[in-house]
């Protein structure tokens, strides 16, 4: 079965039938040779085994053969040969399976940031309004809007429904400030049992800000013994608390288990039965990872970061979606005949003011129609340059194609994990996978829950083998082969190291 057929089968929710030699380096390389996205790996700088040991800056980056920061290595990615040559072991790229925490660096980032710095140095404040020839960037005041347009395919929305601003937690606060309007009767927020701490803090503090008790107003959905939250269970809890609920805020992908929730069905069910409930989504682990259709799914609002799967850099500027029905700006006539804007309440800021009259400085807020009206401040041009560079790589493919490869990568990883368990000689299984086996219920992540006593030896072996992946207490290793820059050979080598460590 070729890679294309495999991906189509997985898109239908079915696993492929792997041949007898699937657990071999040769088979992994065959899949890589069939991968139409394999060229995208050359767009990234991956840490090398040597660079992971770096203790001080020395003017070099992985893959370079000199100290010049933009000189390419053997093939532009850390001296990588993908099995078709030989390089020094320390110069080989790491197995970078941690894109669910921080994506690898796109090579374009240095070029885009250099362009921003040259613009600043050359024309100063004029950079806000000037498009320089030969620059990959638009004028600074247009950069957020430009990045919004380039993000449309990532989240399935019209550009006017996307705003690039702030960071994830700040945007969650801003969205809740506008959309969480509790009453004495309806004040509850339905969330997951184990939200990422920032989400928990945001929800808890917003409830307290409104003078309410989190113990009474937070409804945390509990999973089963396999850390699985079934859609049926979620809907039944919504039914149970609906008349007291003001908002639902759930993750597109649960960060610990890696489960992809049914965003479309949960949103539609809630809005049809309980139109008073606002449905929001934290897409930190979903944006740039799985296909999303936020507009078509009628999601009220959503937020995401850009430093994980979108690869815009640590702490990078974040994004938010506001459905067009919540971004409308209409006008009514005031008592003196003046035009008064009518719009959804939100915390207001200068950059939320319509660009056409923003510099009138008259302190009469005229919101930008759409999600842009929820902006507060002049965004960092350096942050936007980094994001624009990352989005330029996404512009060379589509979320559909990335998702197709992702399904194949994680299915192959699951197959090799199954092989390790099948050949384990221990009385108790050394691990279990808590991410759903259904390929349509997960993104680019498989969470491996190790027996507690094995964590130290496995972690040590992964580090020594040049593997970068993260651990989440209690006992989970999150394995995330990102389609943009990871290979089937990476998956095979990871499993070889894991199998040896467990033995």
List binding-site positions.
Answer: 168-169, 196-199, 282, 285, 307, 350, 378
Residues 2 and 6: their CA atoms lie apart, in Å, by 6
Residues 112 and 445: their CA atoms lie apart, in Å, by 30
Q: How many helices (H) and strands (E) does the chain have?
A: 14, 17
Residues 203 and 191: their CA atoms lie apart, in Å, by 9
The DSSP 8-state label assigned to residue 48 in this structure reads B
Residues 128 and 402: their CA atoms lie apart, in Å, by 34
Q: What are phi and psi of 158, to 5 degrees?
A: -80, 150
Name every residue whose Cβ is closer than 8 Å to that of residue 178 and which is 6 or more positions away in sequence.
301, 344, 345, 346, 347, 374
Residues 307 and 314: their CA atoms lie apart, in Å, by 6
C-beta atoms surrounding 152 within 10 Å: 15
Going by C-alpha positions, the residue among 159, 162, 108, 165 that lies closest to residue 136 is 108
Contact 96, 468 (CB under 8 A): yes
**Residue ranges for the binding site for pyridoxal 5'-phosphate?**
168-169, 196-199, 282, 285, 307, 350, 378
Going by C-alpha positions, the residue among 332, 339, 365, 374 that lies closest to residue 148 is 374
Contact 60, 53 (CB under 8 A): no
For 26, counting Cβ atoms within 10 Å of its Cβ (0-12 exposed, 13-18 middle, 19+ buried), the class is: exposed
Structure tokens at 101: 């925490």
Structure tokens at 311: 């690869």
**β partners of residue 163:** 320
Name every residue whose Cβ is closer than 8 Å to that of residue 23 and which is 6 or more positions away in sequence.
416, 419, 492, 495
The alpha carbons of the chain give a radius of gyration, in whole angstroms, of: 24
Position of tokens 């941690």? 98
């Amino acid at each position: 079965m070729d890679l294309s057929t495999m991906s189509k089968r997985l898109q239908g929710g079915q696993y492929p039938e792997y041949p007898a030699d699937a657990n071999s380096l040769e088979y992994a390389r065959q899949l890589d040779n069939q991968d139409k996205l394999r060229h995208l790996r050359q767009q990234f700088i991956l840490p090398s085994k040597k660079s992971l040991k770096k203790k001080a800056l020395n003017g070099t980056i992985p893959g370079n053969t000199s100290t010049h920061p933009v000189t390419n290595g053997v093939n532009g990615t850390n001296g990588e040969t993908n099995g078709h040559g030989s390089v020094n072991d320390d110069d080989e790229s790491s197995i970078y399976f941690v894109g669910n925490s921080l994506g690898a660096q796109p090579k374009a980032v240095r070029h885009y940031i250099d362009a921003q710095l040259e613009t600043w140095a050359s024309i100063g404040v004029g950079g806000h309004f000037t498009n320089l020839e030969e620059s990959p960037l638009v004028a600074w005041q247009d950069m957020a809007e430009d990045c919004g347009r380039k993000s449309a395919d990532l989240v399935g929305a019209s550009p006017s429904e996307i705003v690039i601003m702030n960071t994830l937690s700040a945007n969650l606060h801003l969205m809740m400030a506008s959309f969480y309007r509790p009453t004495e009767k309806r004040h509850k927020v339905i969330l997951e049992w184990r939200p990422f701490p920032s989400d928990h803090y945001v929800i808890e503090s917003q409830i307290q800000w409104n003078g309410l008790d989190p113990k009474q107003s937070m409804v945390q959905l509990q999973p089963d013994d396999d850390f699985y939250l079934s859609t049926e269970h979620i809907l039944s809890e919504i039914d149970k608390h609906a008349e007291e609920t003001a908002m639902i805020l759930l993750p597109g992908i649960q960060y610990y288990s890696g489960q992809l929730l049914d965003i479309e069905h949960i949103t539609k069910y809630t809005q049809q039965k309980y139109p008073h409930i606002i449905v929001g989504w934290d897409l930190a682990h979903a944006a740039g990872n799985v296909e999303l259709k936020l507009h078509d799914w009628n999601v009220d609002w959503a937020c995401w970061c850009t430093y994980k799967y979108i690869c815009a850099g640590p702490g990078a500027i974040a994004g938010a979606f506001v459905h067009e029905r919540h971004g409308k700006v209409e006008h009514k006539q005031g008592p003196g005949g003046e035009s008064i804007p009518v719009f959804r309440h939100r915390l207001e800021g200068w950059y939320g003011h319509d660009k056409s009259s923003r510099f009138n400085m008259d302190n009469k807020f005229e919101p930008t129609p759409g999600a842009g009206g929820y902006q507060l401040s002049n965004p960092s041009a350096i942050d936007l340059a980094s994001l624009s560079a990352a989005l330029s790589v996404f512009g060379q493919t589509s979320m559909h194609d990335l998702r197709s490869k992702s399904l194949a990568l994680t299915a192959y990883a699951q197959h090799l994990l199954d092989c390790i368990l099948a050949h384990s000689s221990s009385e108790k299984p050394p691990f279990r996978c808590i991410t759903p086996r259904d390929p349509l219920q997960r993104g680019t992540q498989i969470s491996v829950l190790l027996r507690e006593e094995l964590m130290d030896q496995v972690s040590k072996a992964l580090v020594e083998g040049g593997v970068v992946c993260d651990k989440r207490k209690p006992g989970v290793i999150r394995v995330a082969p990102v389609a943009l820059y990871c290979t089937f050979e990476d998956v095979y080598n990871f499993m070889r190291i894991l199998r040896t460590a467990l033995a």
